[in-house]
Amino acid sequence: MMRQYELVERVRAYDPAADEDLLNRAYVFTMKAHGAQLRASGDPYFSHPIEVAGILTEYRLDSATITTALLHDTVEDTVATMDQIEDLFGAEVAKLVDGVTKLSKLELRSEVNREAENFRKLLLAMSDDIRVLLVKLADRLHNMRTLRFLNKAEKRQRIAIETMEIYAPLAERLGMRRIKDELEDLAFAELNSEAHESVTKRLQFLRDQAGDMVDRITNELRQTMQEAGIPATILGREKKAYAVWRKMERDNVAFEQLSDIVAFRIVVDSVPDCYRALGVVHGRYRMVPGRFKDYISTPKGNGYRSLHTTVIGPVRQRTEVQIRTSEMHDVAEFGVAAHWAYKQKVAGGATPHYRWLQELLEILEHAENPEEFLEHTKLAMFQDQVFCFTPKGDVIALPRGATPVDFAYAVHTEVGDSCVGAKINGRVLPLRTQLANGDQVEILRSANSKPDPNWESFAVTGRARSAIRRFIRNRERAEYIELGRSIAEKVFREAGHELTDAALGHVSKVLRLKSHDDLYHAIGMGQVTARQLLYTAFPGERRSRGKTAIGAINRVLPTWWRTSSDKGNGHAVPIRGLIPGMAVHHAPCCHPIPGDRIVGIVTRGKGVMIHTIDCASLEQFTEEDERWLDVKWDVSPDDDNVHVGRIRAIVINEPGGLSSLSSVIAKNLGNISNLRITNRDSHFFEMVVDIEVEDVKHLTNIITALRATPQINEVHRVRG
């Protein structure tokens, strides 16, 4: 385990301005906080954060990042709190530690699954500071290095799969090749130990066989560069077992040659030197056709730049050669971290926060190769998305502003259609709640439930909105058809006819409608009147109109008169509660509620408007008796539709006056949905109150209770 002074020395070696005091305090803090906790390896727990910090010093990261690495498990695993961290180490470190802690929590929640791509995006989206991700990657690297100490094979496997599917690709996308290679290799050893072993043995065999060949090639390349007058460092890098295995799998070949396991690098000072060195190599050795790639003029998506070529090398071996500047080399090894270190050197004091994000955005924006970078998705887009979990840990990606309804439809249309509520992170919350990154969402379902047309007002995904629309359209049509049939039945019966398919016969065709359903729909919509239908089916009726008793009565009395006399009520159209957007509407002028005597007025294109029979606005329809429709309530007690009754009240203007009004209403199980003071003087308030009630009886009870209240002078129901 690295000692305190060693760590500080390492940081100071590349960053003389490092905050030594901060590092020292964090080192001591993490030792104390983790105290006697042990790792599975038997090491003290605090060795882990210290090693993680050590890994990050290889990337020459700033004091805040190293400090964060030291503290990264304290909030999650010890009694230390975020507040404490902020007090002791400042806002920047606190924010970073908080970020890492959040990612760790996600890790616990998510089973590795087919949603790996989404999970990677989630990690990116949640890390508004890339340093959070770097600490997380180093954390994972150290955990992988010590994976073998875990007893449970199942757990080791899970962590290895997660590493392979999520963290290694993430490291690659950030250009952090060294971490990526090591993560993959450690995971490979766990997941396929036999293959790992045989590849490792084979590598050893080739290494033995090659003898000093690597040295000979290195020396000759060095000499060649010297002769050409190009200052250069030559490096021979052996590929990792996993990379070799992948290559064998991909190319479906056994590896035989040195060129498969060692790549040589010529590291020079400048870009012109790269091309000069390339010219020298190609001039001296025969180049293998089709192997040259210029990643300097066309960098890879993750920022990687180099010239690649393969030649028949000094010892008549195919030899892979990569030519790059030392800056390119650092970027190839350290990725984003190297970008940052270079910028740091150059730019000095700019806000690191901003620069980090800029770096990543730049790299992402230049993504060209979809294989190697965030497939057709850029970080900027993640800002418009939220990633949420199902109870099983699957990740669902949604646009920002999405609600549990969108989530439900994203899981499955059936889940959306049967959705009745949602638990977000274990709490039941309204369906219109906007989801946040990392929320765990459980959809509460009921088999008999139907989509609520109101959802349309807050659902944001096309999938949810179109499903709701489709449902509304279908239900609306069904309601209009039912309504139209009822109206037609009534008119036919009044004229002494039976409404049958035979009676309708060709009528649909005459009226240019496709089916009887279309016909009823048109009547329900008010586009065709029932009387038109009657006259088309029985042309004789037109002439006799006015001579029938019914016609005469219609002229004299409004339709509701017959409704009120209970006898003629047999064919009244049943009216359920208020369903917005549907065929039946309750008039806003008189607020009919179940129990009121009501009448329907057919409104062109809008279905039927329900009024109370004493509503003043009915007067305007007295001349149009064919628009009148007998209706009756058909509301069952378990209907949870809300009916709004309106009252006018005069309350004495004294302390407690208003509260007595609301408490009496509440005591009687009414819910005030709207309250407006219409008049106010020093003695009285006059107000209009809308109350959600079950029916007229309920409203009457409330009015009676209000009248019995001393502070309330006068109460009556508001009618049209």
Active site residues: 76-77
CB of 20 to Mn ion, least distance (A): 24
Q: For residues 671 and 550, what is the distance between their CA atoms, to the nearest angstrom?
A: 44
CB of 66 to Mn ion, least distance (A): 14
Q: Which range in 134-142, 265-273, 283-291, 462-470 contacts Mn ion by CB under 5 A?
A: 134-142
Q: For residues 404 and 545, what is the distance between their CA atoms, to the nearest angstrom?
A: 57
Q: Which range in 133-141, 201-209, 383-391, 704-712 contacts Mn ion by CB under 5 A?
A: 133-141
Q: Which range in 138-146, 385-393, 442-450, 689-697 contacts Mn ion by CB under 5 A?
A: 138-146
Of residues 58 and 327, the one with the C-beta less far from Mn ion: 58
CB of 139 to Mn ion, least distance (A): 4
CB of 72 to Mn ion, least distance (A): 6
For the segment 228-247, give every residue that binds Mn ion (CB under 5 A).
none
Our finding on whether 139 is near Mn ion (CB under 5 A) is yes
Of residues 37 and 298, the one with the C-beta less far from Mn ion: 37
CB of 158 to Mn ion, least distance (A): 16
Q: Provide the residue type at 399 as one letter.
A: P
Q: With left for phi above 0 and alpha for psi between -120 and 50, is residue 324 left, alpha or beta?
A: beta
Question: Is there a contact between 647 and 715 (Cβ–Cβ < 8 Å)?
Answer: yes
DSSP secondary structure of 705-720: HHHT-TTEEEEEE---
The DSSP code for 302 is T
Of residues 73 and 162, the one with the C-beta less far from Mn ion: 73
Our finding on whether 51 is near Mn ion (CB under 5 A) is no
Q: For residues 24 and 4, what is the distance between their CA atoms, to the nearest angstrom?
A: 7
Question: Is there a contact between 4 and 53 (Cβ–Cβ < 8 Å)?
Answer: no
Of residues 63 and 143, the one with the C-beta less far from Mn ion: 143
- Nearest residue to 685 (alpha-carbon basis) of 661, 668, 719, 717: 661
Pairing of strands 671-680, 598-603: unpaired
Where helices occur in 418-527 by DSSP H, the ranges are 462-494, 501-504, 507-510, 516-525
CB of 112 to Mn ion, least distance (A): 18
Which structure tokens are listed for 321? 């050669």
Which structure tokens are listed for 471? 């449902």
- The residue with tokens 């090894």 is 333
Q: For residues 504 and 506, what is the distance between their CA atoms, to the nearest angstrom?
A: 6
CB of 52 to Mn ion, least distance (A): 6
Q: For residues 664 and 682, what is the distance between their CA atoms, to the nearest angstrom?
A: 23
Of residues 48 and 324, the one with the C-beta less far from Mn ion: 48
- Quote the strand ranges of 232-363, DSSP E: 232-238, 262-268, 286-287, 293-294, 307-312, 318-325
CB of 134 to Mn ion, least distance (A): 13
Report the half-sphere exposure of 318 (CA within 13 A, side-chain side): 12
Residue nearest Mn ion by beta-carbon distance: 139
For the segment 62-101, give every residue that binds Mn ion (CB under 5 A).
73
Q: Which range in 132-140, 207-215, 335-343, 634-642 contacts Mn ion by CB under 5 A?
A: 132-140
Q: For residues 259 and 239, what is the distance between their CA atoms, to the nearest angstrom?
A: 10
Q: For residues 47 and 143, what is the distance between their CA atoms, to the nearest angstrom?
A: 11
Q: With left for phi above 0 and alpha for psi between -120 and 50, is residue 622 left, alpha or beta?
A: alpha
Count the residues of the shown chain that bind Mn ion, applying the rule CB under 5 A.
Answer: 2
CB of 108 to Mn ion, least distance (A): 12
Count of CB atoms situated within 10 Å of the CB of 387: 24
Q: Distance from CA of residue 394 to its chain's centroid? A: 12
Give the dihedral sign, CA 219/224/226/227.
positive
Task: Encode burial over 404-435: b for 16+ CB neighbours within 10 A, e otherwise.
Answer: bbbbbbbbebeebbbbeebebeeeebebebeb
Where helices occur in 565-629 by DSSP H, the ranges are none
Angle between helices 20-34 and 82-109 (to 10 degrees): 60
Of residues 156 and 329, the one with the C-beta less far from Mn ion: 156
Of residues 49 and 335, the one with the C-beta less far from Mn ion: 49
Of residues 32 and 432, the one with the C-beta less far from Mn ion: 32
Q: Which range in 56-64, 126-134, 139-147, 353-361 contacts Mn ion by CB under 5 A?
A: 139-147
Of residues 139 and 630, the one with the C-beta less far from Mn ion: 139
Q: Which range in 112-120, 137-145, 308-316, 474-482 contacts Mn ion by CB under 5 A?
A: 137-145
Q: For residues 672 and 587, what is the distance between their CA atoms, to the nearest angstrom?
A: 19
Pairing of strands 307-312, 286-287: antiparallel
CB of 30 to Mn ion, least distance (A): 11
- Quote the strand ranges of 315-471, DSSP E: 318-325, 385-389, 395-399, 419-424, 427-429, 441-445
Q: For residues 165 and 114, what is the distance between their CA atoms, to the nearest angstrom?
A: 9
Of residues 155 and 432, the one with the C-beta less far from Mn ion: 155
CB of 154 to Mn ion, least distance (A): 20
For the segment 470-529, give every residue that binds Mn ion (CB under 5 A).
none
DSSP secondary structure of 673-701: EEEEEEEE-SSEEEEEEEEEESSHHHHHH
Pairing of strands 441-445, 419-424: antiparallel
Q: For residues 521 and 519, what is the distance between their CA atoms, to the nearest angstrom?
A: 5
> Cα–Cα distances in Å, from 439 out to 87, 94, 396, 402, 444?
28, 22, 10, 12, 15
CB of 123 to Mn ion, least distance (A): 15
CB of 49 to Mn ion, least distance (A): 7
Q: What helix, strand, coil percent values describe the chain, rounded to 5?
A: 50, 15, 30
Of residues 136 and 717, the one with the C-beta less far from Mn ion: 136
Of residues 73 and 541, the one with the C-beta less far from Mn ion: 73
Q: Which range in 135-143, 309-317, 411-419, 446-454 contacts Mn ion by CB under 5 A?
A: 135-143
For the segment 282-301, give every residue that binds Mn ion (CB under 5 A).
none
- The residue with tokens 């599917």 is 165
Of residues 74 and 309, the one with the C-beta less far from Mn ion: 74
Residues that bind Mn ion (CB under 5 A): 73, 139
